[in-house]
Amino acid sequence: MHYSRGLTALEVLVWIGIFVFTLGAIVSSIIYFYRINATTINQAHSVTSAQRGIEKMVRTIREAAFASDGAYPIVSLDDNEFSFYADTDSDAFIEKVRYFLNGNSIVEGVVDPSGDPPVYTGSEVTDDISDYVRNTEESLVMFTYYDAAGAQIIDYTDVAAVRFVTVNIIVDVDENNLPEPFHIRSSAAIRNLQ
């Protein structure tokens, strides 16, 4: 004859103790993992965000075009600022676009034309497209410009010579901790000037 007995109060307490200890160890491990890897997770998120921003910037640069008022497609060149005309919103008008480094952020500024004939006198609407950019700390130039022969342009007043633009940025959430800074490089040939 088989006799079944229930758990004693001591056995129940032992099982509850083992369960609580195991659960505590698992939760502690997860918290430790996220605390240790928070910088890595934030870096991965920032790099992904920066890559999306750079892709948008490069697409817009490729589409540089003559302004709605007939002005030449490129307005001005600088190491960390590029201003030109392009259609950013698929409407009937060409917008004035400016990408620039502001502290540790890359900012897109857009001015819509207004009036008839169109003029670009309205206020610039800005949007951060990438954060944690460390170009200034690393002495890295964001924009490099090239002419039709592939020679680097060093005279920034010669906007008519530009045919190709490279964009270089370094992203680093925490300069004092790993992972290492992430370098993003992309380029655009200006289609309407070929």
* Residue ranges of domains in the chain: 35-193
Per-residue pLDDT of 63-91, as tens digits, reads 999 999 999 999 999 999 999 999 998 88
For residue 68, give the nearest of 103, 41, 96 by alpha carbon: 96
Task: Look at residues 148, 153, 141, 162 and name the one whose alpha carbon lies nearest to residue 81.
Answer: 141
- Specify which residues 108 forms β-bridges with: 99, 127
Give 108-160 pLDDT, tens digit per residue: 999 999 988 899 999 999 999 998 899 998 899 999 999 999 999 999 999 99
Q: How distant is the alpha carbon of residue 173 from its chain centre?
A: 12
* pLDDT for the residue 128: 93
Give the containing element (helix H, strand E) for 29: helix 9-62
